[in-house]
């Protein structure tokens, strides 16, 4: 690990010998479009900066990168047996990925077998990997500037990352130093994980497999954490099963909502009894001439109350095409009883109906009705992109009908040109309540995500564990 004198020298500025302290630099990142602050080691005497590509940086920031060094499953002197081979943990290295400003570390525990063969256990992001040294049949790292040839497999050199040593413990087969870099390549070949580590002096190759914490606890007879491990696994399994139940509930709710969207029952007889009260009565508004027609449909029966209904309107171009003109309407659904109360025996008088519907909002007693206004149009023109033609000849809306019973549908039709009142069609359909299923679906999805997350993250152990 080095002597105290070497540690002291390494904490001095290589240019002037001044002391080093923690510092930072802020700059504008064009890709992130915001100010970014990065840590630096700085000489208090000459002001020289040392970034994460220097050994000095890792000496200064050692505490920030090793504060959780005791949050681990392994420890020095631990003995156990894996695949009938006995091992003893003799040393530990912690690496920080050089390109990361934030803490991004992994621990490499060095073990030795009874036969003197070195083995490595890597802890990273809650995972444990077991590596042994490997001698490849063929490897070429020099002839191709962009790739490594490994037993016929091409490994891009652009996939390399650099790890810097930030912690050294125990007895190691070589003498590493804080801040020492190692270029690493992780890859798979024939389903096997390999790592190539290239330092200034040597190249080492290891192959490995992923182990779970239960295997390590058993192999090294670590009874301290067994109860908490078993409890964690039990809880994660329980959360996993719950997430499946909620996922099934979400799927069922979504299918029910989808089915409801396409499950409608048309109200019969809506256009069965039709009275055209006026046809293309001319009028002027803001100096523009237009035409008004009035139509009354009904009465017709709507058998269910407190239900969701859909009403749709469309231009019937078999009767009359809508061509480069506009047409708008005002539609009202009103109960037979209320209309008869207001109009009496003059229910077919267009003047009386017009006055009733014009003064609805001012009536002291609320009128139980549903009012919808919309426009149909057909337009064309030219712009910078050339000729265009657009139209909208249908409209739909929905409403919740409070009470079942007999209803009238009244419509005032306004148009740019004289048009047949028969050219507008209406249809009313009973719609299943899909909104309820959507709400239930959202609740199930939230519960699924919560339990799915807990099935992977719940942990009673004093260290991170990614596996089940």
What pLDDT is stored for residue 247 in this prediction? 96
Give the Cα separation of 113 and 122 in Å (integer): 16
Q: Whole-number mean pLDDT of the chain?
A: 89
Q: What would the pLDDT profile of 62-113 be if each residue is shown by its tens digit?
A: 999 999 999 999 999 999 999 899 999 999 999 999 999 899 999 999 999 9
- The per-residue pLDDT for range 16-68, each reduced to its tens digit, is 999 999 999 998 888 878 999 999 999 999 999 999 999 999 999 999 999 99
- What confidence tier does 256 reach under pLDDT thresholds 50, 70, 90? confident
Could you identify the residue written with the tokens 């009496």? 344
State yes or no: pLDDT of 361 exceeds 70. Answer: no
Q: What is the tens place of the pLDDT at every residue in 310-329?
A: 899 999 999 999 999 999 99
Q: Is the pLDDT of residue 360 over 60?
A: yes
Rg of the chain in Å (alpha carbons): 39
pLDDT for 367 equals: 47
Task: Say if residue 365's pLDDT is above 80.
Answer: no
Token output for 92: 């530990």
pLDDT number for residue 182: 95
Q: What is the pLDDT of residue 265?
A: 83
pLDDT of 468 > 90? The answer is no
Query: Rounded to whole angstroms, how far apart are CA atoms 416 and 413?
Result: 10
């Amino acid at each position: 690990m080095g002597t105290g004198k070497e540690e002291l020298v390494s904490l001095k500025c290589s240019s002037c010998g001044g002391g080093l302290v923690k510092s930072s630099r802020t700059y504008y990142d064009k890709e992130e479009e915001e100010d970014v602050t990065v840590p630096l080691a700085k000489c208090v005497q000459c002001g020289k900066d040392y970034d994460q590509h220097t050994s000095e940086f890792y000496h200064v920031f050692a505490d920030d990168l090793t504060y959780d060094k005791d949050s681990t499953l392994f420890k020095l002197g631990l003995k156990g047996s894996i695949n009938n081979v006995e091992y003893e943990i003799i040393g530990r290295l912690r690496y920080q990925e050089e390109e990361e400003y934030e803490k991004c570390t992994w621990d490499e525990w060095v073990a030795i077998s009874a036969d003197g063969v070195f083995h490595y256990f890597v802890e990273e992001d809650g995972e444990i990997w077991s590596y042994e040294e490997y001698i490849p049949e063929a490897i070429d790292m020099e002839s191709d500037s962009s790739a490594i040839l490994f037993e016929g497999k091409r490994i891009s050199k652009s996939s390399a990352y650099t790890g810097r040593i930030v912690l050294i413990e125990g007895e190691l087969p070589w003498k590493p130093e804080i801040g020492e870099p190692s270029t690493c390549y992780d890859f798979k070949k024939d389903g096997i994980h390999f790592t190539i580590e290239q330092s200034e002096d040597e190249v080492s190759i290891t192959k490995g497999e992923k182990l779970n914490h239960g295997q390590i606890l058993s192999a090294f007879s670590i009874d301290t954490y067994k109860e908490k491990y078993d409890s964690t696994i039990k809880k994660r399994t329980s959360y996993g099963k719950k997430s499946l139940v909620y996922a099934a509930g979400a799927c069922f709710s979504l299918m029910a909502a989808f089915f409801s969207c396409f499950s409608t029952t048309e109200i019969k007889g809506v256009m069965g009894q039709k009275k055209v009260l006026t046809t293309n009565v001319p009028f002027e508004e803001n100096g523009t001439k237009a035409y008004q027609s009035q139509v009354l449909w009904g009465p017709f029966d709507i058998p269910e109350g407190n239900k969701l209904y859909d009403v749709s309107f469309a231009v019937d171009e078999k009767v009359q095409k809508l061509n480069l003109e506009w047409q708008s309407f005002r539609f009202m659904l009103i109960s037979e009883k209320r209309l008869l109360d207001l109009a009496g025996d003059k229910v077919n008088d267009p003047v009386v109906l017009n006055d009733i519907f014009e003064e609805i909002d001012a009536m002291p007693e609320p009128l139980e009705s549903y009012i919808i206004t919309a426009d149909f149009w057909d337009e064309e023109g030219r712009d910078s992109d050339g000729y265009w033609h657009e139209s909208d000849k249908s409209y739909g809306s929905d409403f919740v009908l409070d009470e079942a019973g007999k209803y009238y549908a009244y419509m005032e039709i306004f148009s740019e040109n004289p048009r047949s009142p028969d050219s507008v069609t209406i249809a009313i359909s009973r719609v299943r309540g899909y909104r309820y299923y959507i709400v239930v679906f959202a609740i199930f999805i939230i519960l699924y995500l919560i339990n799915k997350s807990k099935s992977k993250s719940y942990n009673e152990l004093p260290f991170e564990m990614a596996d089940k």
